[in-house]
Amino acid sequence: MAKTVKCRRLFCFRFILEQSAMDQGGFCAKCYQQQKTIAPLQATESPYKTLLRTPASQLTDRQKRDQLAGSIWFGNENRIDELLSGNTDFLNKAPSSAETWLGVAIARNCHEKVLNRLLQCGCDPNTGTKSPVNTRPLEVAVRDDRIDAAEWLIKPGADPNLGRPIISAISFRKPAEVQLNLLKLVLWIALRSNASVANHSKLFD
Ligand SMILES: [Zn+2]
């Protein structure tokens, strides 16, 4: 099945084929069209591309967020490095109302190095609970079958009891192999919390 991704415009929740998104700078057809009509001068170049050569230190917080979202999208690790090397107060706002920085990085298959970097910059593995459309990083990891990322999130404190995404996923239309890996993950979490005593009984409520 072809992979779909969310349109990268704020407040647009359409999902599009990954290939179309690539051709349209990460936007769905409607937002891409809208952008062309509203800003004809920028039609050939996305805001991300326009600012790509501007040093991070000269960008506003909003521009930094757009650059980071674009860099995560296109896997531009050098730019991610640069953006996260200076003041990272701009991370206090999420990439969009429905997303979190860690969630976006996991959804775009970012390397663990990038995830660690975001964590060090203060991105909380449990945030993303403001509204029903707001997805927590652990939910993204489970949704995308990224067991490695789920395991990575648990270590710095992502709470598997918040919304119980792992338990829900095991009984929800996942391939047998993924279900098995999710079960192993639950066991691993149980062993971990058993070792630290706290929270042990909460896992299987
Ligand atoms: Zn859109």
Q: Sign of the C-alpha dihedral, residues 97, 166, 159, 205?
A: positive
- Rounded to the nearest angstrom, the distance between the alpha carbon of 103 and the centre of ligand 1 is 19
Q: Which of 103, 111, 16, 95 is nearest to 48 (CA)?
A: 95
- Rounded to the nearest angstrom, the distance between the alpha carbon of 16 and the centre of ligand 1 is 9
Better pLDDT: 128 or 135? 135
- Rounded to the nearest angstrom, the distance between the alpha carbon of 8 and the centre of ligand 1 is 7
Residue 88 is which amino acid? T
* Mean pLDDT calculated for residue range 41-52: 73
- Rounded to the nearest angstrom, the distance between the alpha carbon of 98 and the centre of ligand 1 is 13
For residue 131, the model assigns a pLDDT of 52
User: Residues 88-122: pLDDT tens digits?
Assistant: 999 988 888 778 999 999 999 998 999 999 999 99
**Cβ neighbours of residue 142 under 8 Å, at least 6 residues apart?**
150, 165, 166, 169, 182
- DSSP assigned state of 5: E
In this structure, how many other beta carbons lie within 10 angstroms of the beta carbon of residue 135?
Answer: 21
- Rounded to the nearest angstrom, the distance between the alpha carbon of 152 and the centre of ligand 1 is 30
Q: What share of the chain is helix, strand, coil (3-state, %, to 5)?
A: 55, 5, 40
The token pair that represents 107 in the structure block: 């959804």
- Rounded to the nearest angstrom, the distance between the alpha carbon of 131 and the centre of ligand 1 is 19
- Rounded to the nearest angstrom, the distance between the alpha carbon of 52 and the centre of ligand 1 is 22
For residue 44, the model assigns a pLDDT of 61
High-pLDDT (> 90) share of the chain, %: 44
- Rounded to the nearest angstrom, the distance between the alpha carbon of 43 and the centre of ligand 1 is 15
Residue 28 is which amino acid? C
